[in-house]
Structure 1
């Protein structure tokens, strides 16, 4: 027998190392590296900017020209993430503030009391909550086009759905899938339907019939998908994709063992009423005053302070509540800025317009019957780079609208292709800031969300293809 020490296999050594999805920071960093490398191979080019609808800046589709290459250098690469955080400051700060505000509300006790009341009310018909919420969220987003309201919805509905024996994924699904269904089909959505039709030069909000039918089919499939998953989790909590992440939430919100209703003090009653008033102000501001994240952030700061004081918290408790909320959403907030760095690198390297121009030319090579679906695929791919609905419209529609005339696609259909391509990817691509921030508020890792959403994403793509082929075949003009 050899004198050398022999290695004896152990059960641990025989186990194959399980593949793990890299951290989202790693995934985004790889995208940033790829974008930086692309600046050395993709020719630099630009479009001239012109005045668009409502004073926005659009591009002149006939003005594309090559410019001197300006590839990403070491310093540019080093500054990409900090610049991304600066560019995404509005979303980053909104994420922090809404996380802090809801933690203050939790400390007042009014959320726990509201959840207990609603849980008891819906205990025997809890599944009805999901379609009701999803239809409401989808209709709001289809009318006003604010997917970012998911950031408000999730903290509100999360405690209730956990208490009803669902999970964080269900809460994220209710908010994100419903708002995306409404935004994407955009029956009267000013952000994508209205702006897209303005740029395409067709009457605004025409084509409501086909979009209405699409809205119904998309939201129904979304509801079925979420309810199916939620029922499975309710019957067997260990099947939850976020079972580990929800451990503390289950301890906090599950009320199956509670037999005594928590009492509510007079100060908490007043604080509850004031909270509802603040949300009424929020809705009024969004609908009538054009409020967006900055205005909502300011309102939420005031709301946290006022409601906290009324409910009986002292100033130190309110401050610590904000701090704890900030910590809870820290990763998600930073991810928003890191994701923005991908676009920063391509814009600084002047290859974004070249990519847009190339994608537009690609559509022109697709057979006529499938030209509309080709536009959709191009818009979907571009959505990874520019996840802003209005931003994508201003960059791509000045090219796609006149191109549609050449390849035999109606401009109405080209707008629908843009809507679908912009909307469906907004809750898949990690470069979408509000989406990643919403996942952070829900406590749902991105790779687990992909496992949940991707099959529905494919179903929605199939639905999009069917509607676009029909629109192309009938030469849909609205």
Structure 2
């Protein structure tokens, strides 16, 4: 009689810890902020007229005030108020989703991507540095990293058809715009405002900032290219392998198919797109347009381009509705992220945190003061994820503080740029960034795994530039 085979028992492994849902994470951060209103002393700066009619602070006016910790009702209303406060970018996110769904229904995105992919077919890796450089130059000039929301829907089919993945597409869009925003060669919203507050000539010192832009763009391009090569060699290595299954079925073999036909109406629709792009550029650079104005233009773009390409009004409306659904989560995240700042402001501790962090810099050794400023700006960016908003709050403190520490005001502004810019695509309190991840179908946890090594590299590069600026007494 043969011995009976014993089937080995399968030991179930305990589920490893996973990052909580982004809603949960942001709600917890907002809850911690609410608790801090019971611990951190309340304080306030006096507000004064700042550059371009915007409100700034008087750095010598900080005073402790009566505590006003958040009640349960205040906390309960923080997220709805965050939605209200961030309404422009939420609306912009919806419009981007709807407009690009209309363009997809016309098939002109697929046609354009097909031809662009064939152009780079033999040297596909070159598409990465070319696009990163282009988007960085646009961002460093007009200062709108939110345009990454526009780029991602086009880049995903392009990157996947070339053998890459959604992470590559998101990286091209997010990293390039963040780099241009950080270097801020001619950015009116960060360097422009900061130099006005510091009493410096507007856009002075652009030569060093241009060198910064070139260096960080090269580093970012090499980093993304290295990842993209790994994915193309072995798709399983992709951070978004599971998320891209549908897209791979749709786009992966696009280059092996016959060239997509294009009718005359689609051709005219494609030719109309550069006109809208030119209007956006002119509006942002010359007329001061931002989210609201761009949203209105994109609505018209979707309707007009859809009609030119042959879609009926009903199909255009249905496409908008479908696009709204696809970006719903991203729009909600923006409001929840904004609730963190709402809690700190209502609890009267935002100014206290800024004042305390500014005071910390004074305890750094003189040779490390500029790096300390960068670190402080990095922390503040978590609570104020707006470049211009952070400049208006922090630079009135940092500019005179730099005089006492022996750091030039130009260097203090550079420290602000590094502390503010790179973090825009790391912290979950950055609304447009979280919306971009949702549009790309990438979780924040996976993005952090991909981006954190590059972020550390950029912090080190920023520190080296600051050491150079301080050692040379850089004044621009």
Band of TM-score, shorter chain: over 0.9
CA distance, structure 2, for counterparts of residue 131 and residue 457 of structure 1: 18
Match of 2:475 in 1: 477
**Partner SS state of residue 130, structure 2:** helix
Question: Which aligned runs of 4 or more in structure 1 are off by greater than 6 angstroms?
Answer: none
Distance 1:9 1:232 in 2: 37
Matches within 5 A, 1:394-413: 394-413=392-411
Deviations 1:401-433 (A, max 9, x none): 111111111111111111111101110001111
* Greater alpha carbon shift after TM alignment, 255-264 vs 377-386: 255-264
Please report the RMSD computed on the Cα atoms of aligned residues, expressed in angstroms.
Answer: 1.4
User: Structure 2: which 5+ runs fail to align?
Assistant: 1-6
Change (3 A) 1:335 1:9: farther
1:90 aligns with 2:93: no
User: 1:159 Cα deviation (Å)?
Assistant: 1.8
Partner SS for 2:385: coil
Give 3-state SS (helix, strand or coil) of 2:185's partner.
coil
User: Is 2:351 aligned against 1:366?
Assistant: no
Distance in 1 separating the partners of 2:368 and 2:188: 27
Which residue of 2 is the match for residue 160 of structure 1?
158
**Residue number among 214, 222, 227 corresponding to 2:212 in the alignment:** 214
Q: CA deviation at 1:12?
A: 4.7
Is the aligned partner of 1:11 residue 2:10? yes
Q: CA deviation at 1:90?
A: 0.7
Alpha-carbon shift at residue 272 of structure 1 (Å):
1.6
1:283-341 deviation per Cα after TM superposition (whole angstroms, max 9, x unaligned): 22222222111111111111111111222222221111111111111111110100000
Residue in 2 aligned with 1:120? 118
CA contact (8 A) 1:112 1:253 kept: no
Do structure 1's residue 199 and structure 2's residue 200 form an aligned pair? no
- Residue 34 of structure 2: aligned partner: 36
Please point out which of 288, 291, 307 is paired with 1:290: 288
Whether the 8 Å CA contact 1:426–1:435 is kept in 2: the answer is yes
Distance 1:205 1:275, change over 3 A: closer
Which whole-Å CA distance do the structure 2 matches of 1:149 and 1:246 have between them? 23
Q: Which residue of 2 aligns with 1:279?
A: 277
State the 1:253 CA deviation: 2.1
Q: Say yes or no: does 1:247 pair with 2:231.
A: no
TM-score normalised over the length of structure 2:
0.96
Deviation at 1:256, TM superposition (A): 4.3
**Are 1:162 and 1:254, in contact at CA under 8 Å, matched by a contact in 2?**
yes
1:108-143, CA deviations, whole angstroms, 9 ceiling, x for partnerless residues?
Answer: 111111122222221111111111111111111112
Q: How many residues align structurally?
A: 470
Partner of 1:312: 310
Checking the alignment, whether the CA contact within 8 Å between 1:196 and 1:397 is kept in structure 2 is yes
In structure 1, stretches of 5+ residues that fail to align are 1-7
